[in-house]
């Protein structure tokens, strides 16, 4: 089993965290505490769930939760874009990374389902 920090999905999650931390700096103060911290926390949660999935015998629950966090990040970023707080380019940059994380998580989940023991 590879260290979770060496996985491509973890590297993408680290990249997303960096992008989000940069974006959060430009969020107005009244939204920074609520929306900015939620996006940041969801990005950190994605990284934690990658580690948990890597260690778990049944990876699917962790990967499902990871996909839910990615979904939340996407919706919050879309809301910031719709409000004009972040640019469409910044949104596109983050969406490219979340799409990559989602694809990798779904592929990992599919591979885990194929090798999981039948119950």
What is the C-alpha separation between 99 and 58, in angstroms, rounded? 23
CB half-sphere exposure, 84, CA atoms < 13 A: 0
Rounded to two decimals, the pTM is 0.88
**pLDDT, position 113:** 75
Q: Are 94 and 20 in contact (CB under 8 A)?
A: yes
Residue 64, Cα to own-chain centre: how many angstroms? 12
Angle (CA) 26 28 34, round 5°: 105
For the chain, list the domains and their CATH numbers. Answer: 10-103 (1.20.1440.60)
pLDDT higher than threshold 90 for residue 117? no
pLDDT tens, position by position, 57-78: 999 999 999 999 999 999 999 9
C-alpha to C-alpha distance for 38 and 34, rounded to whole angstroms:
6
28-46 mean pLDDT:
94
77 near 94, Cβ under 8 Å? yes
Cα dihedral 68, 102, 83, 41 in deg (nearest 10):
50
Average pLDDT value over all residues in the chain? 92
């Amino acid at each position: 089993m590879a260290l979770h920090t060496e996985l491509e999905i973890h590297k993408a999650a680290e990249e997303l965290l960096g992008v989000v931390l940069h974006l959060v700096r430009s969020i107005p103060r009244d939204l920074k505490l609520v929306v900015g911290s939620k996006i940041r926390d969801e990005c950190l949660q994605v990284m934690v769930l990658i580690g948990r999935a890597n260690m778990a015998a049944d990876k699917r629950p962790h990967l499902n939760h990871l996909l839910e966090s990615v979904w939340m990040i996407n919706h919050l970023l879309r809301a910031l874009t719709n409000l004009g707080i972040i640019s469409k380019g910044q949104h596109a940059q983050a969406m490219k990374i979340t799409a990559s994380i989602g694809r990798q998580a779904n592929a990992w989940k599919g591979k885990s389902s194929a090798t999981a023991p039948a119950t």
